[in-house]
Amino acid sequence: MARRLTRRRNVFFPTVNPFAQSPDYTTREIEPDLSLLLPGNAAGMGLDELRLLFKRLDEAPYRASQAFEGIYRHRWDDWDRFTNLPKSLRIRLASAVQIKWPEIERTLTSSDGSSKHTLKLADGYSIECVYMPYENRATLCISTQAGCAMACAFCATGAMGLKRNLTSAEIAGQAMALITFHLGARTDAAPINIVFMGMGEPLHNFGNVMGAFAVLSHPKGLAIPPRRVTISTAGLAPGIKRLGECNPRPRLALSLNATTNEARSKIMPVNSTWGLEALSQALRSFPLESGERITLEYALIEGISDGLEDAKRLSKFAGQFPSKINLIPYNACPGAGLPEMSPPSDARINEIGAYLANRGHIVSVRRSRGSDIGGACGQLAFK
Ligand code: SF4
């Protein structure tokens, strides 16, 4: 029987993989047990967890805030560098807990300036994340699972199946590694956007993704504003509801990609569980801040999602709530995709874009970056 690893903070428990038997896109998970944290790794710990650590060391809670600031704002990974803590405490910490982030194993740089990085995890799995520099900002595309259970037909990660959830440390660690690699100490050189859009379905690993979001957005940490962080989901309706109940929370994007249940179920099996009606209801009920919009990502696949009727249905779907539409010409993925899948012509892409814009939608065509290094949308996979 296939097995997967479910995380309970720093401890992994093998459990039966429900996806090996029948599709079950549950967002059920084990709540973290703080008593299991020590001894361990302070990388990825939130303030509550650091407070527990310092309590166990009989230290005042404000020491936890100082440690948090050192770990995330200054990105120190050696207790000896924590000059905001007394020397005697640094020595005790060094013997109790390490600060170990996932390490970059390989970097590929695209002709468009973006880079794909492979990170080696402690148990041997590798994950990928992408750094995309722009004129006045940088975007980090972060993975949330090793592999993915959603099995979207256009995606190399989906073809691998789910290996395991990433821990908060492994998720936040990708951002820490990319920022250190590309920006060094210059974290305020340009605004940073984070998209949980790499390998995995973020809402299928809800607790750990939100744990990473908490440390990355915390004012004493990397202080990345929540509005600059986006979770992209294949459509786990209960997870969308759960996200809407969080405050603060990242922005929401739905990977829509088709406008009928028949077409969508063909390329995204999750649609058989939560179809377009369930998604529409979840998005209409999603509480938005003033000016906030839900992003609809729509892969243009010739003959599958690029017809004028598709555009009409897309317009109708998007008109039900404040939204913006990203049209993404399909990226061919070795080892994934149906044989008939290919991107439409530029003329077709422009036609659909113009149709939607003329109906008052905010629409952009997202030419995926990093396609020459396998770093574009849908191309991330183990090598
Ligand atoms: S597109 Fe996203 S949700 Fe779908 S299989 Fe790939 S990683 Fe998973």
Of ligand 1's atoms, which has the minimum distance to the CA of residue 151?
Answer: 5
Of ligand 1's atoms, which has the minimum distance to the CA of residue 197?
Answer: 2
Q: 158 CB less than 6 Å from ligand 1? A: yes
pLDDT tens track, the chain, 383 positions: 333 323 333 222 222 233 333 334 444 443 334 444 444 789 888 888 899 999 988 999 999 999 999 999 889 999 999 999 999 999 999 998 999 888 899 999 988 889 999 999 888 899 999 999 988 889 999 999 999 999 998 888 888 899 999 988 899 999 999 998 888 766 565 689 999 999 999 999 999 999 999 999 999 888 999 999 999 999 999 999 999 999 999 999 999 999 999 999 999 999 999 999 999 999 999 999 999 999 999 999 888 888 999 999 999 999 999 999 999 998 776 555 566 678 888 999 999 999 999 999 999 998 766 556 555 555 555 43
Ligand 1: centre distance to CA 378 (Å): 7
The question of whether 128 is a catalytic residue gets the answer yes
Q: 199 CB less than 6 Å from ligand 1? A: yes
Ligand 1: centre distance to CA 201 (Å): 6
Ligand 1: centre distance to CA 136 (Å): 29
Report the run of H or E that residue 152 belongs to, with start and end. Answer: none
Ligand 1: which residue has its CA nearest to atom 5? 158
Of ligand 1's atoms, which has the minimum distance to the CA of residue 232?
Answer: 2
Report the alpha-carbon angle 351-254-316, nearest 5: 50
Domains of the chain: 3-98 (1.10.150.530), 103-373 (3.20.20.70)
Q: 170 CB less than 6 Å from ligand 1? A: no
Q: Which of 129, 141, 148, 377 is catalytic?
A: 377
Other CB atoms closer than 10 Å to residue 13's CB: what's the count? 10
What is the predicted pLDDT for the residue at 22? 34
What is the predicted pLDDT for the residue at 378? 57
Q: 152 CB less than 6 Å from ligand 1? A: yes
What is the spatial distance between Cα 233 and Cα 323, in angstroms, rounded to a whole number? 15
Pocket test for ligand 1, best of 143, 154, 155, 270 (most atoms within 8 A of CB): 155
Q: What are phi and psi of 10, to 5 degrees?
A: -85, 10
Radius of gyration of the chain (CA): 21
Q: 253 CB less than 6 Å from ligand 1? A: no
User: What single DSSP character describes residue 267?
Assistant: H
Quote the pTM value: 0.84
What is the predicted pLDDT for the residue at 156? 84
Q: 157 CB less than 6 Å from ligand 1? A: yes
| Residue from 261, 260, 243 nearest 252 by CA | 243
What is the predicted pLDDT for the residue at 184? 77
What is the spatial distance between Cα 372 and Cα 374, in angstroms, rounded to a whole number? 6
What is the predicted pLDDT for the residue at 7? 32
What is the predicted pLDDT for the residue at 25? 44
Alpha-helical (H) ranges within the chain are 47-56, 62-68, 87-96, 168-183, 206-217, 237-244, 261-267, 276-284, 308-318, 346-358
What is the predicted pLDDT for the residue at 36? 41
Ligand 1: centre distance to CA 146 (Å): 11
What is the spatial distance between Cα 112 and Cα 146, in angstroms, rounded to a whole number? 26
